[in-house]
Amino acid sequence: MPARNHVENPLEYVIERLSWAVSDIGRAAAAPPRRHEADRPAEVRRIAYSDLWAALREGFHDLAVSRSDVVFIALVYPIVGLVLGRLAFSLNLLPMILPLVTGFALLGPVAAVGLYEVSRRLEDGAPVSWSTPFEVFRSPALSSILGLGAILAMIFFAWLAVAWGIYAVTLGPQPPASLGSFLNEVFLTPSGWTMIVVGTAVGFLFAAVTYAISAVSFPLLLDRDIGIAAAVQTSIKAIRANPGPMAAWGAIIAGALILGSIPALAGLIFVMPLFGHASWRLYRRVVADA
């Protein structure tokens, strides 16, 4: 990494990380393809709202069985989120704290891949241990998983850039003098409410795109010989075939992540593994057997 002669502004920071994500995609794409990799989307089933609750029950069962095996993954998510928030404080980037914490949820499907592996093995009746989530690194799908993860990383950094731009044209571009003055400007001025409304709307669009391409993509990649494009197409196809239940599932996850973020992201220690396991179980109900 080249030495820096100045402190990066937020846009430079995001652009640099975005370039790293692009490089990751290039390396993943250059990896040897898996044999017999399917290039067509998988078949999907119609599901009902009752399938959502069934997936949650099954996910809770998996969590109860393997709770000692996913401690590391369950802790990483909130710890990294807190580190990101602390980074924003240290760089005097108070306006970026909320975009960092909420945007980090865009990477949730990547963080949950190890949990999918645990549920997959429990489903097969195989034993699991603390090292089971790391078996993903031996998967023949690793290059595809990394490639799709890099795409989500690009979306994450793009969201940070857009969030900073929204702040810059409403309350910025100068950073706030203090936390108190920032909160006052956000909640007690027209510009602050404009930032909230626009930021929420744009953030919803980023979240919707991420959900559409990743709802079943990662468990599908882990489960079958299928390419990134076919996995993404299957995910979009699943949402189109089940708009109501899949929208409700996304809303449930979003609500749980919000509740899990209070206080100080501690609740994510429970929420993250629960919905990781439940997402695998829902995938089994949505995608038809090969």
Confidence check: pLDDT of 290 > 70: no
Chain centroid, CA 118 distance in Å: 18
Q: HSE of 175 in the Cβ direction (CA atoms, 13 Å)? A: 15
Cβ 130 vs Cβ 72: under 8 Å: yes
Sign of CA dihedral 37, 38, 43, 44: positive
Confidence check: pLDDT of 143 > 70: yes
Residue 173 lies in a domain: yes
Residue 157 lies in a domain: yes
Taking alpha carbons only, the member of 120, 142, 149 closest to residue 276 is 120
Backbone Cα Rg of the chain? 20
* Mean pLDDT for all residues in the chain: 81
pLDDT for position 272: 81
Residue 51 lies in a domain: yes
Average pLDDT rounded to a whole number, residues 233-238: 95
Q: Count how many domains the chain has.
A: 1
* 78-87 pLDDT, tens digit each: 666 667 667 6
Residue 9 lies in a domain: no
| % residues pLDDT > 90 (the chain) | 43
Residue 8 lies in a domain: no
Show the 3-state SS of 148-162.
Answer: HHHHHHHHHHHHHHH
Residue 239 lies in a domain: yes
Residues 79 and 63: their CA atoms lie apart, in Å, by 20
Domain that holds residue 46: 40-286
Structure tokens at 283: 């995938």
pTM attached to this predicted model: 0.80
Confidence check: pLDDT of 172 > 50: yes
Residue 13 lies in a domain: no
Confidence check: pLDDT of 1 > 70: no
In a 3-state reduction of DSSP, which class is residue 287?
strand
Residue 204 lies in a domain: yes
